[in-house]
């Protein structure tokens, strides 16, 4: 893999070492290169043949040394963003990496969405696709973007030095200005942009020593904040195209059901309704505005046709997974080393974790204009090149005939790694001549989500006399996201590396560990997708709940027990110790029915420990009191973003664990909007303190780290408060009430399905 | 034909009387800063002010607005509370994806207009109707306190220009 990532250009040793760390040393499943072919496109810090068109589309600036930097004659610096901005602050992080080496301040740059291009913007860690996911953007671009900035800087300096007839080594760059240090002469970037654009590209550049960083490591304001506080940011749903009309859609509520007859007389009579258009499994009403389209949709008389899922419900699905877990062929993700000692205390648990919807705040939407031989799309997507490819397929036109204008994403969480909604919009837009903005209602969004998979887990261990596990067996049963989404990335034996991530690579020192995955084929139409935190979010709930249970079984403190299993000096132990110190673990007794729960792990190339403190009322209502999180993400690009991502990620995970589960009845998803698919609100939010360990290692992933660690910390806190060990999510109040009598004294507050006793 | 007073300007719209204000603002007048999130007044993304009061525009028929003043995120910075809230939002760097933030800022500005020095409980009560899926709530609390007191709260981001 390292050989593949290395370009033919000069690469310093520091880079080589860092690549090894980012991509080679860890059993990180989301790095999908293993199962793919020998060569794939990936980012290059230097100009590529395919960048020509991109630069021309960008107004053909005099200096465009690579696919990321454009400098105009007036000195303006435009940075092109290879990743999608969905809240994770990657536009800011990318800008900081480029700006650090280029020599500009964040107040001196403008950011631009990129065109779709795997060749220019592919992420090697994800098989070379232009994909924003798996918390890979920073760790996957850390080297190439800084190098891209350095290439530009060296060329600008060379141009200035040539003009002054001085040595390049006697010049320095700061705030978009080149200075000849001995004479104090200065030139702005704009003054040398044209000359720099004609120079050869340097084969070798030297990157800054981290101790000389002036941008990286500072808590800088996000580059997208100013427009986001005044309503000025354009999300996909805000796009305006001349002549555009609006479509409201209904897809068969029964998964994989189809559209039968549609009575549209009433709908067409509504003022503002323009058209009624159909697909095999969906119908759309087009209006002059979205309200007319929605009213028209409600006025349709639709007859749906049953498909294979007519009788599908959640209980049937769970039972089928349990059956597969018992009998299905198991693939081995981690083999035990050596034989377990005989005897010991056997402990076993089973877990069911629910399907989850993403519910990004911006409902799914795409604006599409299909004209003869062409298709233009405006949407916010995590996978612009996949959008382009699918549109070309649906329209039967070449890839180059499809224009994709990516937008700011009003949340992604993995939902916008899918192209289903855009594909549907293209299929509808093909039927009309005008640009069509297709918006899914929140109800459509929830009922047709590509859900986080349902999982059934069986986990067991044998404890020796000292209470430590002498053997550990974990069998995971689920559908496969990776197998559908990027089948080439499955292992040779069909192993889904995502399904076992953070289950096979434990922070604990144990030899006799067996981790298996059983593939359960999900019913057609029940499509499983990436959900923030992916495999680790599920596995850490199981593993860290079980470790807590083992500590209890062994009669040990949960913190001391974990410490006893971790390698001294290891990075996960570092975050565990820091979080424990900051919350004051064990320093004072807690009130009745208040408890603290620990969870620690190393997902996405980073290390994280969360300690959550809850109170569980006599009526079983869980109140989040406080959370302390320690992270080691290696070199911190932007400490402000780290704090924000950890806080937000944790709340996203807590919200799901507290309230969320997608359930099926008669083949339909039962939830539909924020009243029955709850989201944590501000009055339910605890104080969250975030602390970082500065290990100086290359950056790890961040966007999903907080989410992945949330549920087990919550479940362990609930156990500490109530002695109830949760083996299913979401949290249900009935299981936590002190008594049936206590339960009567509280009205339902909608803490998830199954709450109403 | 409906006549509305939006951000100090008179706007005419040829729309049905039961059309929600949200869609008149977004699809007819063209002010897209106000967002559609749920359509059932559960998420608060569509919050605007009518005569200074925060309302969910997805549930307000345009005919019910009458001659009252409609203020949206595009103009809230022209009110003293709105300006303070936006400045605090930048100082604390609240936003993530940003989609819900128009509604959050509208609710926060209305809170400060009626309660200049809100307690934690006041903040929770006033802001509980605004969902943020990114989970920016911790910074929202800090920013509202900063807007109210003028005192720095939490992590303060550096002004961008000073670096590099």
- pLDDT the model gives residue A746: 58
Which residue do the tokens 């309660």 mark? B115
Higher-confidence position of A4 and A195: A195
- pLDDT the model gives residue A31: 47
Cα angle value A127/A129/A133 (rounded, 5°) = 90
Give the pLDDT mean for A4-12.
29
- List CB contacts of A679: < 8 A, sequence separation 6 or more: A359, A655, A659, B43, B131, B133
With pLDDT > 70 as the criterion, what percentage of chain A qualifies? Answer: 92
By the 8 A CB rule, do B109 and B136 touch? no
- pLDDT the model gives residue B159: 61
Mark yes or no for CB contact A361/B45 under 8 Å: yes
Half-sphere exposure of A73 (CA within 13 A, CB side): 4
Lowest mean pLDDT segment, chosen from A119-128, B17-26, B30-39: A119-128
Quote the ipTM score: 0.97
Q: Count the neighbouring beta carbons within 10 Å of the beta carbon of residue A78.
A: 17
Residue B139 in contact with partner chain A when CB distance is under 8 A: yes
Q: Which of B14, B15, B133, B142 to mutate to test the interface with A (most CBs of A within 10 A)?
A: B133
Model confidence over A151-187: pLDDT tens digits?
999 999 999 999 999 999 999 999 999 999 999 999 9
Model confidence over A520-569: pLDDT tens digits?
999 999 999 999 999 999 999 999 999 999 999 999 999 999 999 999 99
* Tokens, residue A673: 């909007």
Nearest Cα neighbor of A497 from A33, A163, A13, A108 is: A33
Confidence class for position A1, pLDDT limits 50, 70, 90? very low
Higher-confidence position of A203 and A755: A203
Cα angle value A241/A244/A249 (rounded, 5°) = 125
The answer, yes or no, to whether residue A605 has pLDDT greater than 50, is: yes
Give the pLDDT mean for B33-40.
98
- What's the burial of A434, exposed, middle or buried (CB within 10 Å: 0-12/13-18/19+)? middle
The answer, yes or no, to whether residue A109 has pLDDT greater than 90, is: yes
Query: What is d(CA A255, CA A317) in angstroms, rounded to the nearest whole number?
Result: 14
Q: Are strands A664-665 and A668-669 parallel, antiparallel or unpaired?
A: antiparallel
By the 8 A CB rule, do A562 and A598 touch? yes
- Portion 27-56 of B in contact with A at CB < 8 A: 27-28, 30-40, 42-43, 45
Model confidence over A199-235: pLDDT tens digits?
999 999 999 999 999 999 999 999 999 999 999 999 9
By the 8 A CB rule, do A602 and A572 touch? yes
Nearest Cα neighbor of A488 from A134, A140, A37 is: A37
- pLDDT the model gives residue B160: 53
Model confidence over A575-586: pLDDT tens digits?
999 999 999 999
Nearest residue on chain B to A441, alpha-carbon basis: B38
Query: What is d(CA A1, CA A561) in angstroms, rounded to the nearest whole number?
Result: 37
- Give me Rg for the CA atoms of chain A: 27
* Cα dist from A482 to A184, A382, A550, whole Å: 57, 16, 31
- pLDDT the model gives residue A57: 81
Q: Are strands A330-334 and A513-519 parallel, antiparallel or unpaired?
A: antiparallel
The answer, yes or no, to whether residue A50 has pLDDT greater than 90, is: no
pTM of the predicted model as reported, rounded to 2 decimal places: 0.94
At residue B31, the 3 state secondary structure works out as coil
A413: chain B residues, CB-CB within 8 Å: 133
Query: What is d(CA A413, CA B99) in angstroms, rounded to the nearest whole number?
Result: 14
The answer, yes or no, to whether residue A485 has pLDDT greater than 60, is: yes
- pLDDT the model gives residue A53: 80
Percent of chain B as helix, strand, coil, to the nearest 5 = 40, 15, 45
Taking chain B, what is the end-to-end CA distance rounded to the nearest angstrom? 55
- pLDDT the model gives residue A33: 44
Within its chain, how far is the Cα of A312 from the centroid? 29
Model confidence over B101-159: pLDDT tens digits?
999 999 999 999 999 999 999 999 999 999 999 999 999 999 999 999 999 987 777 66
Model confidence over A635-682: pLDDT tens digits?
999 999 999 999 999 999 999 999 999 999 999 999 999 999 999 999
By the 8 A CB rule, do A502 and A544 touch? no
Give the pLDDT mean for A325-350.
92
* Tokens, residue B38: 């749920």
By the 8 A CB rule, do B99 and A411 touch? yes
- pLDDT the model gives residue A633: 96
Nearest Cα neighbor of A293 from A329, A245, A255, A251 is: A245
Query: What is d(CA A483, CA A497) in angstroms, rounded to the nearest whole number?
Result: 10
- pLDDT the model gives residue A340: 77
- pLDDT the model gives residue A203: 94
> A476 - beta bridge partners?
A457, A517
Query: What is d(CA A401, CA A398) in angstroms, rounded to the nearest whole number?
Result: 5
- pLDDT the model gives residue A106: 94
Model confidence over A709-751: pLDDT tens digits?
999 999 999 999 999 999 999 998 778 988 777 777 654 444 4
The answer, yes or no, to whether residue A7 has pLDDT greater than 60, is: no
By the 8 A CB rule, do A361 and B37 touch? yes
Give the pLDDT mean for A351-372.
98
- pLDDT the model gives residue A39: 41
Nearest residue on chain A to B122, alpha-carbon basis: A683
Nearest neighbour of A647 by CB, restricted to B30, B138, B164: B138
- pLDDT the model gives residue B154: 77
- Portion 119-138 of B in contact with A at CB < 8 A: 123-125, 127-138
Nearest Cα neighbor of A380 from A402, A357, A401, A410 is: A410
A215: chain B residues, CB-CB within 8 Å: 163-164
Model confidence over B45-89: pLDDT tens digits?
999 999 999 999 999 999 999 999 999 999 999 999 999 999 999
- pLDDT the model gives residue A4: 27
Average pLDDT score over chain A: 92
The answer, yes or no, to whether residue A572 has pLDDT greater than 60, is: yes
Taking chain A, what is the end-to-end CA distance rounded to the nearest angstrom? 55
Alpha-carbon distance A688 to nearest alpha carbon in chain B (angstroms): 7
B156: chain A residues, CB-CB within 8 Å: 219
- pLDDT the model gives residue A739: 78
- List CB contacts of A6: < 8 A, sequence separation 6 or more: A16, A19
Query: What is d(CA A161, CA A173) in angstroms, rounded to the nearest whole number?
Result: 12
């Amino acid at each position: 893999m390292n050989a593949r990532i290395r370009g033919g250009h000069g690469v310093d040793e520091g880079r080589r070492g860092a690549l090894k760390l980012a991509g080679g040393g860890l059993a990180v499943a989301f790095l999908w290169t293993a199962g793919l072919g020998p060569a794939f496109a990936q980012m290059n810090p230097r100009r590529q043949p395919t960048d020509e068109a991109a630069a021309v589309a960008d107004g053909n600036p005099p200096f465009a040394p690579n696919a990321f930097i454009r400098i105009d004659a007036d000195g303006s610096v435009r940075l092109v963003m290879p990743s999608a901005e969905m809240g994770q602050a990657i536009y800011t992080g990318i800008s900081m990496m480029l700006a650090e080496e280029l020599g500009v301040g964040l107040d001196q740059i403008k950011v631009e969405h990129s065109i779709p291009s795997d060749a220019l913007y592919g992420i090697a860690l994800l098989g070379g696709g232009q994909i924003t996911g798996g918390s890979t953007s920073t760790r996957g671009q850390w080297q190439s973007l800084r190098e891209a900035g350095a290439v530009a800087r060296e060329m600008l300096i060379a141009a200035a030095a040539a003009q002054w007839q001085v040595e390049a080594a006697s010049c320095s760059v700061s705030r978009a200005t080149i200075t000849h240090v001995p004479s104090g002469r200065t030139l702005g970037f704009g003054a040398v942009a044209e000359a720099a654009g004609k120079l050869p590209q340097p084969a070798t550049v030297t990157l800054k020593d981290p101790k000389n960083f002036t941008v990286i490591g500072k808590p800088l304001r996000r580059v997208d904040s100013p427009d986001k506080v005044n309503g000025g940011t354009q999300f996909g749903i805000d796009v305006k195209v001349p002549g555009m009309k609006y479509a409201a859609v209904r897809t068969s509520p029964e998964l994989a059901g189809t559209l039968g007859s549609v009575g549209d007389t009433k709908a067409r009579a509504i003022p503002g309704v323009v058209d009624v258009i159909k697909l095999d499994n969906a119908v759309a009403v087009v209006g002059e505005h979205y309200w007319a389209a929605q009213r028209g949709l409600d006025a349709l008389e639709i007859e749906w046709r049953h498909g294979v899922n007519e009788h599908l419900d959640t209980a049937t699905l769970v039972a089928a997974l349990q059956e597969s877990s018992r009998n299905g062929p198991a693939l081995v993700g981690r083999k035990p080393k050596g034989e377990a000692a005989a005897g010991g205390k056997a402990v076993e648990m089973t877990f069911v974790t629910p399907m989850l919807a993403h519910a990004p705040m911006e409902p799914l939407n795409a604006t599409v204009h299909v004209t003869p031989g062409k298709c233009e799309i405006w949407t916010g997507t995590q996978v612009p090149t996949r959008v382009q490819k699918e549109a070309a397929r649906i329209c039967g036109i070449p890839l180059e005939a499809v224009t994709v204008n990516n937008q700011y994403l009003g949340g992604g969480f993995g939902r916008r790694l899918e192209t289903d909604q855009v594909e549907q919009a293209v299929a509808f837009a093909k039927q009309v001549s005008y640009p069509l903005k297709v918006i899914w209602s929140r109800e459509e969004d929830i009922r047709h989500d590509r859900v986080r998979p349902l999982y059934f887990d069986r986990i067991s261990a044998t404890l020796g006399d000292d209470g430590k596990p002498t053997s550990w067996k974990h069998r995971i049963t689920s559908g496969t996201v990776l197998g559908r989404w990027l089948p080439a990335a499955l292992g040779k034996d069909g192993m889904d590396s995502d399904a076992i991530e953070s289950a096979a690579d434990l922070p604990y020192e144990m030899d006799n560990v067996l981790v298996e995955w059983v593939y359960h084929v999900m019913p057609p139409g029940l499509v499983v997708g990436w959900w923030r935190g992916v495999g680790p979010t599920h596995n850490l709930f199981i593993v860290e709940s079980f470790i807590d249970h083992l500590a209890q079984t062994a009669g040990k403190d949960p913190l001391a027990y974990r410490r006893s299993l971790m390698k001294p000096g290891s990075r996960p132990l570092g975050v565990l110790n820091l979080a424990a110190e900051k919350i004051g673990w064990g320093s004072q007794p807690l009130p009745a029915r208040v408890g603290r729960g620990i969870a620690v792990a190393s997902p996405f190339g980073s290390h994280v420990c969360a300690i959550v403190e809850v109170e569980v009322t006599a009526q079983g209502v869980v109140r989040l009191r406080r959370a302390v999180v320690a992270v080691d993400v290696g070199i911190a690009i932007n400490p402000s973003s780290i704090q924000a991502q950890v806080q937000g990620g944790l709340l996203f995970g807590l919200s799901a664990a507290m309230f969320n589960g997608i359930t099926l009845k008669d083949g339909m998803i039962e939830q539909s909007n924020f009243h029955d698919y709850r989201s944590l609100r501000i009055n339910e939010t605890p104080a969250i303190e975030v602390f970082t360990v500065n290990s100086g290692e290359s950056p790890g992933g961040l966007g999903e780290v907080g989410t992945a660690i949330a549920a087990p910390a919550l479940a362990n806190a609930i156990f500490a408060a109530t002695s109830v060990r949760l083996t299913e999510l979401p949290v249900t109040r009935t299981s936590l009430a002190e008594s049936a009598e206590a339960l009567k004294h509280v009205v339902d507050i909608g803490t998830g399905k199954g709450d109403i006793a | 034909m409906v006549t509305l007073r939006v951000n100090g300007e008179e706007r005419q719209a040829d729309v049905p009387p039961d059309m929600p204000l949200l869609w008149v603002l977004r699809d007819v007048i063209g002010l897209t800063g106000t967002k559609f999130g749920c359509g059932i007044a559960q998420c608060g993304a569509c919050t605007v002010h009518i005569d200074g009061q925060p309302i969910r525009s997805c549930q307000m028929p345009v005919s019910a607005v009458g001659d009252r003043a409609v203020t949206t995120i595009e103009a809230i910075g022209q009110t003293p509370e709105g300006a303070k809230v936006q400045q605090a939002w930048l100082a604390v760097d609240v936003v993530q994806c940003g989609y819900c933030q128009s509604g959050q800022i509208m609710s926060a500005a209305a809170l400060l207009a009626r309660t200049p020095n809100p307690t934690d409980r006041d903040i929770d009560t006033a802001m509980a109707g605004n969902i943020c899926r990114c989970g920016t709530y911790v910074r929202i609390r800090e920013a509202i306190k900063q807007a109210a007191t003028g005192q720095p709260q939490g992590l303060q981001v550096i002004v961008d220009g000073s670096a590099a």
